[in-house]
Structure 1
Amino acid sequence: MPQPSAILSQAVAADATRPALTFYDDTPGGPGERIEISRKVLRTWVSKAANALQEGLDIQPGSVVLVDLPAPHWRLAYWALAVWSVGATLTVDTHEGADVLVTDDPDSEVAGDCDEVVAVALPALARAFDGELRSGVMDEAAELASYADDFTAWDEAEAEDAALVSGGDRVTYADLLADLPPVPEGARSLVGTTDRGLFVRQVLQLLAGEGSAVLVLGAEAVGDDPRWEAEGVDHRAGG
């Protein structure tokens, strides 16, 4: 299969303005956000995060990045694509050793064991992390904008390199889209899985198939919600 970065580039070239991700935060007591991200905007987020990893944190093929963000969240999607753009290994298993941790909880026990930490504020309009950060922790909301909108990898992963560690399983770059249930070409897919490894693969699969995802965080994405008809949902992802 093509590299994930090539899949995203092909999607942008086909139609840059088409939605890639539409995100609903249905978390009880949460902000109730609805955010729509086009393919072009998604690529910009991915490029900035990849530049932060490569230039700021010296991540490269062979490095391991733990992304400890909730699924299905749009920020998890672009950080996963950024790790793959650099050619590193993405892990969503918190017990896995990692060179960098990307997290919305920089005070967690896991964060205490990591030298390099990126603190992610989940709200879309956040301009700084809400809370005091220890010295050396990167505040994504405050710092990511300083990185370039375009990205060129210094090196690329090989097809047999580990792309994803999830649930103890290691998935190579060649197999990122293997063994997933088929999705119709151009699907507008409702995605509600909390399995982070499955989620990032589903997003990549939809981009590869000219599709888009409607993400629902914090509540079951029930099929009879009138929002899904308004969004043009015509497929529901498993998991």
Structure 2
Amino acid sequence: MPAEVLARMTASDPGRPRLTWYDDEPGPTAGERIELSARVLANWVAKAANLLQDDAAAGPGTTVGLDLPAHWRSLYWALATWSVGGTVVVGAAATGADVLVTASTAAAAAHGGDAVLVTPAALARSHPDAAEAPAAVDEARELATHGDVFSPMSDPEAGDVALAGAAGDTAYGEVVVARPEWGEAPRVALGGELEDVLRACLAAWAVDGSVVLVRGPRDADLTARLTAEGVTTDAR
């Protein structure tokens, strides 16, 4: 189960970096580097899970659409959804989920249910256009007010759907799949579509590994950077 993967990482070595993010995409966050230890990642997850459970009454059976690219914020929202026992929905169907997590004010404003408006920038204190989606939760402003410890009201069953995307529905009991070719405690470079990145993160973390997530041009030569980061497998 994804929540167990996070708990094991936090218990085994809470201070070791588990998620390193590089943004090479042209735009306001270009050049951003974020590094999260297991402890810090778990803190973000707990706050997001508390928001989902307390504000959106999310739990087993609730669908949470991630209308976001593969991004460090997408990862903790996915883990938060799995912590409450909900279903992460990615791709074209994301905007039709019960709860929508998005960086688009238009999508948030058009959503008929609960919506969370995400600002990608690491140091954002509010979404600059939050007034365009007044019913949505402004994550940058409100997430910090939620608790640092999360206790689920209900746990998912192994057969419940954990992830819905282009590859179909994947149950909780099947979503964490180790990749033996990566070895033990790998440091894996990732990029690309969110669904693939989510599956690969769980695979790496399940064997005490870590990930370096890169967003940017596919043809970029990142050899020196990945070497400096100690990457053992380039799975971009």
Please tell me the TM-score bracket, short chain as reference: over 0.9
How far, CA to CA, are the matches of 1:86 and 1:199 in structure 2? 21
The equivalent residue for 1:68 is: 67
Change (3 A) 1:130 1:152: same
Change (3 A) 1:118 1:181: farther
TM-score (norm 2): 0.93
Aligned residues: 233
Q: CA deviation at 1:182?
A: 4.0
How far, CA to CA, are the matches of 1:171 and 1:181 in structure 2? 20
Q: CA deviation at 1:153?
A: 0.4
* Residues 131-161 of structure 1: per-residue CA shift (max 9 Å, x gap): 1232221000000000000101000110000
Change (3 A) 1:171 1:181: farther
- From 194, 212, 216, give the equivalent of 1:196: 194
How far, CA to CA, are the matches of 1:221 and 1:162 in structure 2? 35
Corresponding residue SS for 1:94: helix
Residue type matched to 1:155 in 2? S
Consecutive unaligned residues in structure 2, runs of 5 or more: none
Range with bigger deviation, 179-188 or 89-98 = 179-188
Task: Report percent identity of matched pairs.
Answer: 42
Residue type matched to 2:111 in 1? D
The equivalent residue for 1:89 is: 87
How far, CA to CA, are the matches of 1:54 and 1:29 in structure 2? 33
The aligned runs of 1:1-239 (5 Å cut-off) are 3-31=1-29, 32-71=31-70, 73-95=71-93, 97-108=96-107, 112-131=110-129, 132-167=131-166, 169-178=168-177, 182-193=181-192, 195-220=193-218, 222=220, 225-237=223-235
Range with bigger deviation, 175-184 or 229-238 = 175-184
Range with bigger deviation, 59-68 or 199-208 = 199-208
Range with bigger deviation, 228-237 or 44-53 = 228-237
Corresponding residue SS for 2:106: coil
Contact 2:178–2:207 (8 Å) recurs in 1? no
Change (3 A) 1:45 1:137: same
Contact 2:178–2:204 (8 Å) recurs in 1? no
Range with bigger deviation, 35-44 or 213-222 = 213-222
Contact 1:88–1:163 (8 Å) recurs in 2? yes
Consecutive unaligned residues in structure 1, runs of 5 or more: none
* Residues 64-88 of structure 1: per-residue CA shift (max 9 Å, x gap): 11011111x1001100000000001
Contact 2:176–2:206 (8 Å) recurs in 1? no
Contact 1:93–1:168 (8 Å) recurs in 2? no
TM-score (norm 1): 0.92
How far, CA to CA, are the matches of 1:63 and 1:8 in structure 2? 21
Range with bigger deviation, 48-57 or 94-103 = 94-103
How far, CA to CA, are the matches of 2:176 and 2:26 in structure 1? 33
Q: CA RMSD in A?
A: 1.8
Corresponding residue SS for 2:91: coil
Residue type matched to 2:82 in 1? W
* Residues 91-150 of structure 1: per-residue CA shift (max 9 Å, x gap): 003335311100011213x75133211000000000101212322210000000000001
Structure with higher helix content? 2
Corresponding residue SS for 1:82: helix
Change (3 A) 1:116 1:237: same
* Residues 11-54 of structure 1: per-residue CA shift (max 9 Å, x gap): 11110000011100000234310111111000000000000000
Change (3 A) 1:224 1:147: closer
Contact 1:66–1:94 (8 Å) recurs in 2? no
